[in-house]
A and B are shown apart, each in its own frame.
Chain A
Amino acid sequence: MKPAPSTIAEAKNARRPARGFWSDTWRRFATKKLSLLALVFVGLMGCIALASPFIVGVKPVVCKYKGRIYFPCLSYFHERLENPIFVKELRKKYSVNLRKKDPDSWAIWPLVRQDPFNRVKEDEWEDQPGNPTGSDGKPSRYNIMGTNQAGVDVFAQLVHGTKIALLVGFVSTGISAAIGMTLGALAGYLGGWVDMFVSRMIEVMMCIPTLVLILALIAVVDKATIWHTMVVIGVTSWTGIARLTRAEFLKLRNLEYVIAARALGAGRLRVMFRHVLPNALAPVLVPISFGIASAILVENALSFLGFGSPPPNASWGTLLNAGQRSPDMWWLIFFPGIAIFLTVMAYNLIGEGLQEATDPRLREGAK
């Protein structure tokens, strides 16, 4: 029961800036404590991923060597970021060789001096013992979450694995969203044989068990890296998004504003992507959020099965795989298990929050 404005001027004065769809969604989303918490958690994970070399590693965050300043820890992001001088002169063993080769050097080390790929050896640090191997690697002062069979620190793998988990989630879901939305938009808007073709394609894709398809695709690649895994997950999981987009487009394409746009002479692509897509986006965001969660799960499943990124990799699934081989090393299952659980749950909570915030039928107090 809105009172009708009596005059235009009055209406102008009375107008609060109308809330747009997105800010409205955000307002509703923000009322859900759990979803908000999940969002904070994901943000925190992002921070951990970005800061992983500063948190745990065996390469100095900053060091001064022979009069110059270096940031060797960045090589955890990409190996080319490590100055070749450290290969040639230090053999990448900063802990021992930095002082030895240049007594005037100084370095600021990461908070925890453990490596996600290699065992910390006995002679590496003066004030820190070597990592134990086998089932001796219980959580201890130096390995707060224990070590795996080969003596590699679990905490270091977990922290550096965050990078992989986040990347996999965003990149592969990004790919599947791009494919799914494009195909869905085409099918829904154009209809006819395009719709027919795309819909059948979706059905065919859905018939193939995804994990089997992924294993087959990964076997084809010669030097499979984590990026291949992401692409493969991406190109196999777009069907849900495509279907939703298609349905939205079917609904929207006959609305007045679309017809108006067409009547004004807007091209097909312009109508599809400028006018229809933004309005179809909200329901699609939900499966994207769930998709991130499932992509993370799939990547961990692949690593668990031994088909993940090439070793040594710091994926959480790899840790689970190691844990499965030695049932008494509970820390190999417990910590990565918790990490996977929390992350996947966070994305699912976000998805749920989005769903409730964007779908008027689910709004609290609606009706």
Chain B
Amino acid sequence: MARNSYFFAVSLVVALTGCGSSTPDKKVEKDPSETVKPDAGTIKEATNSSEKNKEEPAKAFALGDMIKPFDPPILEDLNAKVQWVDRPVIDAAPLLRERQAKEKQLATVEEALKLHNDSPQDNERILSALGRLPSEEGKEVNWDATINRHSFGDVNSTNPILASSTAEFDISGLINFGLFTFDWAFTPFASKDTVVSWQSSKDGLFDKVVLRDDLTWSDGRPITAHDVEYSFKVILTEAVPVKAQRSGTDKLKWVKAYDDHTVVFFHQESLVTNEWNLNFSVIPKHVYEKTIAKDPLLNRHPDHVNLENNPVTGGPYTIKSRTRGQEIVLERRESYYMHGGKQVRDKPYFKTVRFRIRDNPSVALLGLKAGDIDEMIIIPEQWRTQTTDDEFYKTNTKAYALEWTEFHFLWNCQSDLFSDKRVRKAMSFAFDHKEMIEKLRYGLDEPCNGIFNSTSKWAPQPAPKPYQQDQDKAEELLDEAGWTDTDGDGIRDKTINGKKVKFAFTVLVSNKQDRIDICTLLKQSLDQIGIKCDVKPLEFTVLIDKMTKHDFQAAFGGWGTGTDPDTSDNIWGTGQERNYGQYSNPEVDKLFIAGRHEFDPEKRAEIYRKIHLLLYEDQPYTWLFFQNAYYGFNKSLRGYVFSPRGPYHYSPGFSSIWKPVVP
């Protein structure tokens, strides 16, 4: 189980639509293996592959052995019993088109391409002009185009239900079949590409989905409701090493296919968060049925090995070729958008999507400048210095947008040093926030005051002020908490249980220089008030391992945003799996439970605002900054639109990006 919990540590659950946007809806650990918007790991994969050969299934294969036995009623009985309410079934592209029709275009494409992104206004103009979708007929679209995307790491598996890193979600987002997705404002809906109707019961205990009848797998077989039921059972089979997808899905009571197109999801409890648990990837039943029991790890049976490189996909793309550590090439699937000789779904804009794997940001940037890569995340250092000259702007442009990704120092609230709220506050006061924002982050990022960004509806208004350095106050708080230098050696100490404890600790950080620099600044700040702090850079896997075991005093970390505020429960709830700092506040626990049960949106928001304020008061983290999304794009790309989760991880996300015909 230890293995599982560490993968849960980077848990995300994906919901994928036919339009091919990868949409992990949970909070994502900010993995250092990628430098800027590192969702989840590449280093992790290296570890995995080395473990692969030793790995044995924990248990014999028994399909769905993690689900409690349940006897679903027949559909007629269910229909008679419950009152169905229609839920939205939406196509994300028209939704975005509608939104953009209302927005004023601030510059023409030609003007925008000439601009250098030196000010917020220029950034607005670039996004406004180049972020547009093409017209509905798409005459200006180059339908044979190839996009070369950058990936910080290789994928461990191309099987969508095994996905756990950003790289894996980016791939599975294009090849995977899913029923649900959400838009840039994190409103969930069923995808029109795959679903005819979605109904929830009035009591919130059931969801009924009718699938379209023109869906086929890439091997020509129809996609049916039975595949959905089967995938649910596979995900909740202990012997199958499902990492991210299990969280959320395990909250479901049962999934039942009543015929080829009708599937009903049974929930344990009536919760407002139930709709997020419907999101999981679907794999073809007819492909895995016979072999999975022989090889539940899905990586040894010859058929499974073959499927890794040539998976049977339900999404808009198939895998054309794959070179480990180098690139993965996907190709548009005609049988996805054509059915019976007729076009039934939007044709994906790119014929070929190539992921080029470059783990070093400097190397990736060279690739962008050379035109080998069309889009990539730029690290702040590069944004400010290496992407400002004409050489960069010759073929590229760049854009940024607010992303709800925060970084923090994490204090272990059960350790001798940080169990006292006053000490944690003193840490927040001692740190030189101004130096960090202005010098180490080059003034590009915003200070952070707590778990929700102030532009989110869950954040309290007015928001509490971010901490500023005030060392007098810090010293006052430390004196108050009993940490004084009694032996005159320059380091504060305190007698705890009859033993003198020195205020000396180690802050763990992933092995990335920009993060180490921030920890070094903490060391310097604390050094001035008589606290000894060592900085220890670690590999990401080791760091997560230590944090999961609570084997640390302080650490530097970051969280991307989840789609629903309830996803933070497993970071703040007492004893929850990602509550690395062992923070515990019964009031916060109660509020999270209340939040799940509150169906009125305004009242619900009020609950999370309270949580935000409680956490701000307790300072289990010293919140540092929100890291914006910085991207470099080739000038030939259009249609990039940013959400608080960056330009890809929502719907339409990647599927709104296109290349125009070269005149």
Contacts and interface: CB of A to CB of B under 8 A. Distances in A.
Interface of A: 80, 82-84, 86-88, 91-93, 117-119, 121, 133-135, 149-151, 219, 223, 306, 310-312, 321-322, 324-328
A196 to B, nearest CB: 34
Contact of A311 (B362, B385, B520): B520
Interface string B523-536: 11001111000111
Contacts of B527: 87, 92
Contact of A119 (B439, B516, B542): B439
Contacts of A91: 471, 528-529
A151 B535 contact: no
B386 interface: yes
B519 interface: yes
7 closest A-B pairs by beta carbon, nearest first, are: A84-B490, A91-B528, A135-B385, A87-B490, A150-B517, A133-B439, A312-B520
Contacts of A328: 385-386
A134 B384 contact: yes
9 contacts: A91-B471, A134-B442, A150-B520, A223-B506, A312-B523, A325-B513, A326-B362, A327-B362, A328-B386
A117 B524 contact: yes
Interface in B287-336: none
Contact of B435 (A84, A88, A121, A324): A121
A124 to B, nearest CB: 12
Given A133-B439, A150-B517, A223-B536, 14 more contacts: A80-B489, A86-B490, A87-B529, A88-B485, A91-B528, A92-B527, A134-B381, A134-B384, A135-B384, A306-B513, A311-B516, A311-B519, A321-B513, A322-B513
Given A87-B490, A88-B530, A310 B536 contact: yes
Contacts of B517: 149-150
Contacts of A121: 435
A117 to B, nearest CB: 7
B511 interface: yes
A154 to B, nearest CB: 15
A324 B362 contact: yes
A366 B245 CA distance: 78
Nearest to A93: B528
Contacts of A322: 513
Contacts of A306: 511, 513, 537
B521 to A, nearest CB: 8
A190 to B, nearest CB: 42
A311 B506 CA distance: 12
Contact of B386 (A310, A321, A326): A326
B368 to A, nearest CB: 14
Interface in B442-501: 442, 471, 485, 488-490
A133 B440 contact: yes
A151 B534 contact: no
A63 B536 CA distance: 34
Contacts of B435: 119, 121
Interface residues of B, number: 34
A86 B529 CA distance: 10
A83 B488 CA distance: 9
A109 B523 CA distance: 24
Nearest to A136: B385
B372 to A, nearest CB: 17
Given A149-B381, A223-B534, A310-B534, A87 B506 contact: no
A80 B488 CA distance: 11
B520 A325 contact: no
A87 B488 CA distance: 10
A149 B534 contact: no
A119 to B, nearest CB: 7
Contacts of B530: 84, 87-88
Nearest to A131: B439
Given A80-B489, A117-B524, A328-B385, A150 B534 contact: no
Contacts of A311: 516, 519-520, 535, 537
Contacts of B386: 135, 326, 328
Given A91-B528, A91-B529, A321-B513, A82 B490 contact: yes
Interface in B533-551: 534-537, 542
A219 B385 CA distance: 34
B332 to A, nearest CB: 37
B485 to A, nearest CB: 7
Contacts of B381: 134-135, 149, 325-326
A328 B388 CA distance: 13
Contacts of B384: 134-135
Nearest to B492: A87
A133 B536 contact: no
B520 A92 contact: no
A312 B535 contact: yes
Interface in B111-165: none
Contacts of A312: 520, 523, 535
Contacts of B511: 306
Contacts of B537: 306, 310-311
Interface in B330-375: 361-362
Contacts of A135: 381, 384-386
Contacts of A219: 542
Contacts of B535: 310-312
A328 to B, nearest CB: 7
B576 to A, nearest CB: 27
A306 B506 CA distance: 17
Contacts of A118: 520, 524
Nearest to B527: A92
A45 B390 CA distance: 44
B523 A133 contact: no
A229 to B, nearest CB: 14
Nearest to A115: B524
A91 B471 CA distance: 9
Interface in B406-464: 435, 439-440, 442
Contacts of A324: 362
Nearest to B517: A150
Given A310-B535, A311-B520, A312-B523, A92 B362 contact: no
A92 B485 contact: no
Interface string B166-205: 0000000000000000000000000000000000000000
Given A322-B513, A324-B362, A84 B488 contact: yes
A92 B528 contact: yes
Contacts of A82: 490
A220 to B, nearest CB: 12
A139 to B, nearest CB: 16
Contacts of A117: 520, 524
B152 to A, nearest CB: 15
A312 to B, nearest CB: 5
A87 B484 CA distance: 12
Contacts of B361: 325
A219 B528 CA distance: 30
A317 to B, nearest CB: 13
